[in-house]
Amino acid sequence: MHHGNGTTLQSVIDAIKNKILDAKIQLVVSDNKNAYALTRAKKANIDTYIIKNKTTIEIDQELSQKLKDYSIDLIVLAGYLKLIGNNLLNSYTIINTHPSLLPKFGGKGMYGMNVHKAVIESKEEYSGVTLHYVNNEYDKGNIIKQTKVKIEPTDTKETLASKIQSIEKVQLIEVLQEFAKEKQ
């Protein structure tokens, strides 16, 4: 489920195409009809779906209904900012990638540049990427994997963001490879 310009999605599409990852993306879902991720999905012949509802409970019912048409083992959140409802949580394994070393710099409102700005302002020595299971609280699910990034004195929120984004993609592919192996 996507929000931004879909570079994370693209890295997964490419990993599958290049036989680095043995998986299939069944569906790309977004709550933003203009999300570039939807265009990337269409170019790769992946089904897309735009969420119509607004509240967590309505979205939960809507997606539970929609996902019944697919055989889905794993849901990956990438820049999806709403809480996930209980039907989905109880039916699927859901993971999320977060651009800090959780539990630091997580929670409501902590996404994208907000995170990097807070990290730089607090003079941290390291930031990084956390992949975690999703539960019904923001950024509180069990951690699957973390990768540290050293913060240089010259780093700005923008330079930190780009370092973290490249690591985020690598880490996600590694974790997806592990999930794929377990499925075999």
What's the pLDDT score for residue 4? 59
| Burial bucket for residue 177 (CB in 10 Å: 0-12, 13-18, 19+) | middle
Q: Under CATH, which architecture does the 7-183 domain have?
A: 3-Layer(aba) Sandwich (3.40)
Choose the catalytic residue: 2, 3, 98, 116. 98
98 a catalytic residue: yes
Q: Show me where the domains of the chain are located.
A: 7-183
Strand partners of residue 95: 76, 133
For residue 45, what are its two tokens? 């012949």
Instruction: Render each residue's pLDDT in the chain as its tens digit; 184 residues.
Output: 544 578 999 999 999 999 999 999 999 999 999 999 999 999 999 999 999 999 999 999 999 999 999 999 999 998 787 889 999 999 999 999 999 999 999 998 898 899 999 999 999 999 999 999 999 888 899 999 999 999 999 999 999 999 999 999 999 999 999 999 988 7
pTM value > 0.85 = yes
16: closest CA among 28, 8, 24?
A: 24
